[in-house]
Amino acid sequence: MALTAGIVGLPNVGKSTLFNAITNSQVLAENYPFATIAPNVGVVEVPDERMDNIVELFHPKRTIYTTFEFTDIAGLVKGASRGEGLGNQFLSHIRQTDAICHVVRCFEDDDIMHVEGSVDPIRDIDEINLELCIADLDTVENRISKVQRKAQTKEKDAVQEYATLVKLKDALVAGTPVRLLELNDTDREYLKNYGLLTGKPVIYVANMSDVEINEPESNEYYAAVKKFADSEGSECIAICAKMEEELAGLSKEEKREFLDELGIERSGLDQIIRAAYHLLGLRTFFTVGEPECRAWTFREGMLAPQCAGIIHTDFEKGFIRAEIYSYDDLMEYKTEASLKEHGKIRLEGKEYPMKDGDVVFFRFNV
């Protein structure tokens, strides 16, 4: 389930430094279920304390965490929607992503020139949003030209789609991203076919100096970005991309010690990974045992047979039932024997919606 978040931003905001941290943290090829990793894609483990605790109980020979992809998007300049700079490359790459991590500069540094000549993160956010709105407007207007004549003949589907397109056009002309609109079910069905850039969910990444990162609220630029993100229901994460790049080369123990010294609970990169993972409705179930403990990614709402198919298509085809217990119960009772003794292992059938944190053994017959 290779969903990806695209990292976007203006030049000199720390986008490339953040991506370097991601590639330095990249999982080993044998732990990644896809054969080829493109040069602009970083594949990272999703940090999960539950998996760490499971490993302490089972002491497996092999441990595999679930993974998430980040795509490094070509730098944006004003006029990208008209093909300026690497605009066409930027737009084509971002169209292929499922979510956007928008890196904005929240630090002063005379040695690093800002493309606009000054630090103003809200201006930078507006600039990228405008370019995406212009690109989406072009897509919507092209579709309107194809649907409008049919709508005039009162063809039902065309009338409904035209109404949706007009709603989208009005918003985009006003510079409002599609993700902020109140849409009905019919609108959303049509929206799936358009691939609009401003329809993708966004996480704002406020990149600040290593001096300020342990108290981000004291940074006026971060405060402005946080307020902006809150106003549209998006998440804002404070990072120091330069520090993340340095942390990526350390062991887990060294990283933990370094963060403890700074009084930081979790690295910025870990926060971004977890936020992007959950933003896309992704959840985790576990398979456990002495040979291997493994975390698997599934979409919220998937049924047990579909999740079995994530492991192997034969598991879904021949699904019989799932033996399931919760992570919380495992932490309380410690062993599967004790879980069984206390009636905590359940048998679930084909209609069971998997839950985040389920520990499962699938029974199947092909």
The answer to whether the pTM exceeds 0.85 is yes
Kindly report, residue by residue over 127-144, the tens digit of the pLDDT.
999 989 999 999 999 999
Cα-based distances in Å from 324 to 173, 258, 271, 291: 51, 38, 29, 19
Whole-number pLDDT of residue 292: 96
Instruction: Please answer whether residues 277 and 70 qualify as being in contact, where contact means their C-beta atoms are separated by less than 8 angstroms.
Output: no
Cβ count within 10 A of residue 313: 11
Cβ count within 10 A of residue 112: 13
CA distance 296 to 305: 14
Backbone φ and ψ of 27, nearest 5° = -70, 155
Q: What is the mean pLDDT of the chain?
A: 90
Mean pLDDT, residues 174-197: 94
DSSP character at residue 354? P
Backbone φ and ψ of 207, nearest 5° = -90, 115
Kindly report, residue by residue over 315-350, the tens digit of the pLDDT.
999 999 999 999 999 999 999 999 999 999 999 999
Whole-number pLDDT of residue 242: 93
Instruction: Please answer whether residues 316 and 305 qualify as being in contact, where contact means their C-beta atoms are separated by less than 8 angstroms.
Output: yes
The residues with which 86 forms a beta bridge, in sequence order, are none
**If 0-12 CB within 10 Å is exposed, 13-18 middle and 19+ buried, where does residue 78 land?**
middle
In this structure, the strands spanning 319-326 and 346-348 are antiparallel
The residues with which 287 forms a beta bridge, in sequence order, are 294
Whole-number pLDDT of residue 85: 47
Kindly report, residue by residue over 284-321, the tens digit of the pLDDT.
999 999 999 999 999 999 999 999 999 999 999 999 99
Does residue 115 register a pLDDT over 80? no
Kindly report, residue by residue over 66-78, the tens digit of the pLDDT.
999 999 887 666 6
% of the chain exceeding 70 in pLDDT:
92
Instruction: Please answer whether residues 38 and 102 qualify as being in contact, where contact means their C-beta atoms are separated by less than 8 angstroms.
Output: no
Q: What is the DSSP string of 19-66?
A: HHHHHHTPPPGGGSSSS---TTEEEEE---HHHHHHHHHH--SEEE--
Helical residues (DSSP H) of 118-155, grouped into ranges: 121-152
Instruction: Please answer whether residues 47 and 100 qualify as being in contact, where contact means their C-beta atoms are separated by less than 8 angstroms.
Output: no
277: nearest Cα among 298, 294, 293, 259:
298
CA distance 205 to 99: 13
Confidence of residue 27 (pLDDT cuts 50, 70, 90): low
Identify the residue whose tokens are 């000549």.
117
Q: At 161, is the secondary structure helix, strand, or coil?
A: helix
Whole-number pLDDT of residue 87: 47
